Amino acid sequence: MSYLPLKVVWTIELTKRQEKILAIAKEEGPITGEQIAEKLNLTRATLRPDLAILTMAGFLDARPRVGYIFAGNNSNQLLEREIKKRRVKDYKAVPVCIGESTSVYDAVVTMFLEDVGTLFVVKEKGVLAGVVSRKDLLKVAIGKQDLQTIPVSVVMTRMPNIITCDPEESLYDAAKKLIDYQIDALPVVRETEEGSKALEVIGRVTKTTITKAYVELGSMLNI
C-alpha cells in the first residue's frame, strides 16, 4: 500500500501592526527596524517580535547592513530602488580648483600632484569660470609655446558650455552625463546670490566616484 505525502498547509493571521510593518517595507524598503519603529512611533524592542515573526513566515527578508525588505520585491526592483536613493551630495569629492590666471605649466603640475584628470577654473568666491581637462593641457604642451606664459583661461572650456550637476541630483543621472557627454568629471555646483548664471563649485563627481558607489551598492545587496 502506498501513501500520498501529507502536505501541511498553515496560515498566519497578521495583526494590524504587522500589516502596517509590511506596508512600510513594501513602500520604502530596504528599511531598518529603527526606521520602521520611528514611523510607527514605537520602540525597536516593541517591534522585535513582530519583525521576527514576519521574517520567519517569509513576509520579510532581513539583510545585514541593508535592512528589512518586503519578500515580494525582486532583485531588479531592489537594485533600482537603491540606485535612485543615492545622491551626488553623499558621494561628491573635494574639487581641485585653480584661478583663471594660473599658467598652463602650473596647471599641469597641479593635475599631476593632485592625481586628477580635470581641473575647475574659478573666479572669486569659487564661482565656476571654466574647466580644463588633461586633453586640453596636452594640446598646448605638444606645441612650442612657453607653458609658463600661457594662462589656462586661453585653453579652458568656458561657461555656459560646461556640463554640471546638482548636489540633490541622483548619482545615476550624474553617471549618465559622464557617459553621454564623454567627459571624465562633473563639477558639483550650487547657485550663488548673484543668480543662476553664477555657480559656486562645491565638489566633483568622476568616473572613479561612480565606480566606488556601485561597488559599494553591489556589496550591500550581495550581488
**Structural domain containing residue 41:** 16-78
**What's the whole-number average pLDDT of the chain?**
85
Helix axes 171-180, 207-220, angle to 10 degrees: 140
pLDDT band at 79 (very low <50, low <70, confident <90, very high): low
pLDDT of residue 107: 96
pLDDT band at 4 (very low <50, low <70, confident <90, very high): very low
Cell 525588505, located at residue: 69
Is residue 98 over pLDDT 80? yes
State the CATH number of the domain containing residue 123.
Answer: 3.10.580.10
pLDDT band at 220 (very low <50, low <70, confident <90, very high): low
Residue 134 placed within a domain: yes
Shared domain check, 43 and 116: no
**Longest CA span, the chain:** 100
Residue 210 placed within a domain: yes
pLDDT of residue 70: 86
pLDDT of residue 75: 53
State the CATH number of the domain containing residue 53.
Answer: 1.10.10.10
The number of folded domains in the chain is: 2
Domain end call among 78, 110, 132: 78
Is residue 157 over pLDDT 90? yes
